[in-house]
């Protein structure tokens, strides 16, 4: 029996032991699984020219899952460019995954997935087994039938939502660090302290492409080293782990033990520890001439202390730049307007209809504006704030941001869809701005200072 790939989009094994394929025309066909898996590989049916393979072509499923949005697990593995270095196709034992509450949008990291693990949420329990075998955007139900959507965490999610042993360098700062280092895949970088492993993972992802780059990550505390090692190993099935040498010890002592005083082989150093000025001389002995030392300091006073250390001790370092990395995230949401006097040109009902479509996907939460005795609805405070004034105060900077509500007209609306929709657009009400300062120093030759 040959199953043409064009005709079959998903093939899976149900708990009942039935093999199900979703036919291109929508019909569902069943065959006995034993008849297929009991065959030697040579006699198994063909799928896209290959013998059907239990691990590759089948996932455990329930009937409800067959009704869920179709996921084609074959699209990634048949990519002519080779295996994708992105998220895994399907969750498996040991993975850390992200579950997004389809009602509130709240996200939670789950894992590593185990045979008998489970996660308890406000809306019920999900056994890890219910996640294993599922692909991205699959719907996972709690025992109370509350829906979560499965995602494979991005590096940003992974860092922001993971439990912490130290204060991590946040993704926005990690990216600025890489920019200041001018990081490239063949670089040899020294990092101290390792802390949670957040920055380590960002650095490792760049140098792990097989171009010979390496990260030496040093921390005084063995517990931090172990935690960070696990943290790096569990992301994307450990694909960046081999690029890192984790070492427990004092930065100065490790550098003295690893490098001779004349071997300036390190392309760059990142310092995120309590007293970075105490280690400037040690690092300036190992960094290549013109190589960068990036120092993370919580306030600018410490930045000055760092530069004064260089001046007083005539260290072979020069100040290059200081960076404060601010990032302002914006909230963009379609808004439902539920009473006539607030309608903009009769667009409200249309808007509500369109928003409803977004809700079904579980992706976009709509703000609802509706009247209430004596004022606007308390529960809809977000949207209400935005409409009360024509401008809102961005709490991070005190800067006034105009046009909290905007109406847009799509250039070519699909038949039956509204010609205009009202949108809330304003900065989010939680701080994503300042965290610290990054100082970049450059190494020069000894005696040049």
Ligand X SMILES: C[S@@+](CC[C@H](N)C(=O)[O-])C[C@H]1O[C@@H](n2cnc3c(N)ncnc32)[C@H](O)[C@@H]1O
Q: Which is nearer to ligand X, 36 or 159 (CB)?
A: 159
Q: Which is nearer to ligand X, 19 or 251 (CB)?
A: 251
247 near ligand X, judged by CB under 6 A:
no
Which of 3, 20, 59, 192 is close enough to bind ligand X by CB under 6 A? 192
250 near ligand X, judged by CB under 6 A:
yes
We find the least distance from the C-beta atom of residue 229 to ligand X, in angstroms, to be: 13
User: Mask of contacts with ligand X, 215-234, x by CB under 6 A?
Assistant: ---xxxx--x----------
Q: At what angle do helices 171-181 and 198-207 cross, to 10 degrees?
A: 50
198 near ligand X, judged by CB under 6 A:
yes
Contact indicator for 294, 269 with CB cutoff of 8 Å: yes
We find the least distance from the C-beta atom of residue 257 to ligand X, in angstroms, to be: 13
268 near ligand X, judged by CB under 6 A:
no
Count of residues touching ligand X (by CB under 6 A): 20
- Residue among 83, 52, 69 at smallest CA distance from 135: 69
Residue in the block written with tokens 């056994």: 127
155-184: contacts with ligand X (CB under 6 A): 166-169
Q: Which is nearer to ligand X, 244 or 352 (CB)?
A: 244
Residue in the block written with tokens 């984790």: 246
Q: Which is nearer to ligand X, 220 or 366 (CB)?
A: 220
Q: Which is nearer to ligand X, 149 or 218 (CB)?
A: 218
Q: Which is nearer to ligand X, 3 or 201 (CB)?
A: 201
d(CA 152, CA 232): 15
199 near ligand X, judged by CB under 6 A:
yes
d(CA 349, CA 145): 30
Which of 55, 274, 373, 412 is close enough to bind ligand X by CB under 6 A? 274
For the range 3-8, what are the long-range contacts, defined as Cβ-Cβ under 8 Å and sequence gap of 24 or more?
3/45, 3/46, 3/47, 3/48, 3/52, 4/48, 5/47, 5/48, 5/49, 5/74, 8/47
How wide is the angle at C-alpha 207 spanned by C-alphas 204 and 213, nearest 5°? 120
Residue 295, class by beta-carbon neighbours within 10 Å (0-12 exposed, 13-18 middle, 19+ buried)? buried
195 near ligand X, judged by CB under 6 A:
yes
Give the alpha-carbon dihedral of 249, 310, 318, 169, to 10 degrees. Answer: 40
In the complex, which residues of this chain contact ligand X (CB under 6 A)?
Answer: 166-169, 192-193, 195-196, 198-199, 218-221, 224, 250-251, 272-274
């Amino acid at each position: 029996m040959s199953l043409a790939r064009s005709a079959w989009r998903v093939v899976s094994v149900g708990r009942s032991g039935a093999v199900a394929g979703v036919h291109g025309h929508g019909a569902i066909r069943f065959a006995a699984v034993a008849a297929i898996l009991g065959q030697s590989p040579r006699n198994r049916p063909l799928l896209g020219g290959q013998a059907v393979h239990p691990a590759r072509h089948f996932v455990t499923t329930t009937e409800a899952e067959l009704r869920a949005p179709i996921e084609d697990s074959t699209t990634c593995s048949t990519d002519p460019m080779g295996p994708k270095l992105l998220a895994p196709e399907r969750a498996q034992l040991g993975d850390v995954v992200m579950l997004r509450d389809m009602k509130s949008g709240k996200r939670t990291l789950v894992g590593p997935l185990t045979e008998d693990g489970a996660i308890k949420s406000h809306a019920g329990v999900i056994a890890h087994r219910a996640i294993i075998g599922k692909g991205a955007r699959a719907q996972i139900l709690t025992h109370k039938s509350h829906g979560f959507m499965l995602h494979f965490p991005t590096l940003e999610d992974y860092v922001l939502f993971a439990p912490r042993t130290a204060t991590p360098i946040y993704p926005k700062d990690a990216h600025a660090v890489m920019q200041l280092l001018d990081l490239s895949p063949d670089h040899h970088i020294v990092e101290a302290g390792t802390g949670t492993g957040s920055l380590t993972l960002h650095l490792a992802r760049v140098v792990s492409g097989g171009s010979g780059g390496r990260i030496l990550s040093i921390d005084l505390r063995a517990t931090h080293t172990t935690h960070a090692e696990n943290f790096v190993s569990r992301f994307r099935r450990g694909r960046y782990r081999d690029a890192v040498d984790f070492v427990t010890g004092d930065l100065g002592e490790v550098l003295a033990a690893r490098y001779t005083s004349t071997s300036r082989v390190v392309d760059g150093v990142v310092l995120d520890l309590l007293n970075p000025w105490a280690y400037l001389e040690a690092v300036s002995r190992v960094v290549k001439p013109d190589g960068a030392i990036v120092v993370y300091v919580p306030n600018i006073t410490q930045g000055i202390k760092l530069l004064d250390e260089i001046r007083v001790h005539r260290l072979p370092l020069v100040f290059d730049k200081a960076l404060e990395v601010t990032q302002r995230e914006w909230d963009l949401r379609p808004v439902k307007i539920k009473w006539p006097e607030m309608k903009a040109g009769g667009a409200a009902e249309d808007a509500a209809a369109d928003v409803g479509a977004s809700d079904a996907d579980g992706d976009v939460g709509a703000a609802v504006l509706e009247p209430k005795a004596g004022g606007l609805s308390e529960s809809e405070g977000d949207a209400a704030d935005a409409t009360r004034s024509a401008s809102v105060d961005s709490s991070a900077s005190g800067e006034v941001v105009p046009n909290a509500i905007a109406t847009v007209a799509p250039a070519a609306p699909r038949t039956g869809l509204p010609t205009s929709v009202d949108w809330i657009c304003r900065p989010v009400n939680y701080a994503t701005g300042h965290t610290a300062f990054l100082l970049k120093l450059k190494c020069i030759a000894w005696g040049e200072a």
